[in-house]
Structure 1
Amino acid sequence: MTLQPDNATYTIPTGDHLLTVRNRKRMDVTSVKSIERFDQEEFLVHTSQGHLLIRGEELRIVHLDVDKGLLTLEGTVKTLQYDDEDNGLSKSFLHKIFG
């Protein structure tokens, strides 16, 4: 990632995953492949860096661009947890449902 100090412009190389949280109230995520499940308290997002579990209160999607892999959420962010592609959160979730 390259920062241009004069105009605060960020250049994000294609495919890079970037996560920004502003005051725990707004969150931007890049390289989003899919949203596997969500409600007001929890989002499970599949990113290029694995699964990202976001927990909080009154979470809602402000912007989603599937083609560009961009997601913006608002609400109170309390927990962020990453898990690798091949194990963990998604399998645990499916295991809970199907045993």
Structure 2
Amino acid sequence: MQYQAEHASITIPSGDHVVSLRNRKRMDLTSVKSIERFDAEEFVVRTSQGHLNIKGEELRIVHLDVDKGLLTLEGLVRTFQYDDEDREPSRNFLHKLFG
């Protein structure tokens, strides 16, 4: 995959996970496996590097290519944070309740 920056081209090896954030208003992601859930304030995306939680305002999907694992979001990005790939929120919640 080739990524066009302002003045240079960068070649990204296939399968690498890349996050690009422009002016906190446009986010491009590669190696996206699935979108677990989303709304205008939060996206939970499963990537090759783990679950990525994106929070903001007026978030929306601009481009999604499932076959290539590409996702582009627009809106105001406030935060984004990774969780471990093997962590499943529902299992952990039940585990905390019933130990």
Shorter-normalised TM-score: what interval? 0.7 to 0.9
Number of the residue aligned with 2:69: 69
Normalised to the residue count of structure 1, the TM-score between the two structures is: 0.83
Structure 2 counterparts to residues 27-66 of structure 1, below 5 A: 27-66=27-66
Q: Structure 1 residue 17 and structure 2 residue 17: aligned?
A: yes
Normalised to the residue count of structure 2, the TM-score between the two structures is: 0.83
How far 1:51 moved relative to its partner? 0.2
Once residues 94 and 67 of structure 1 are traced to their aligned partners in structure 2, the CA distance between those partners, rounded to angstroms, is 30
Once residues 29 and 4 of structure 2 are traced to their aligned partners in structure 1, the CA distance between those partners, rounded to angstroms, is 20
How far 1:95 moved relative to its partner? 3.3
Q: Structure 2: state its 5+ residue gaps.
A: none
Once residues 38 and 4 of structure 1 are traced to their aligned partners in structure 2, the CA distance between those partners, rounded to angstroms, is 28
SS in 1 for 2:89: helix
Share of identical aligned residues, percent?
70
Q: Letter of the 1:38 partner, please give it.
A: F
Once residues 27 and 4 of structure 1 are traced to their aligned partners in structure 2, the CA distance between those partners, rounded to angstroms, is 14
Deviations along 1:25-75, whole A, 9 cap, x unmatched? Answer: 000000000000000000000000000000000000000000000000000
Q: Structure 1: state its 5+ residue gaps.
A: none
Residues 1:83 and 1:9: Cα distance change in structure 2 (over 3 Å): same
Q: Number of matched residues?
A: 93
**Root-mean-square deviation (CA), in Å?**
2.5
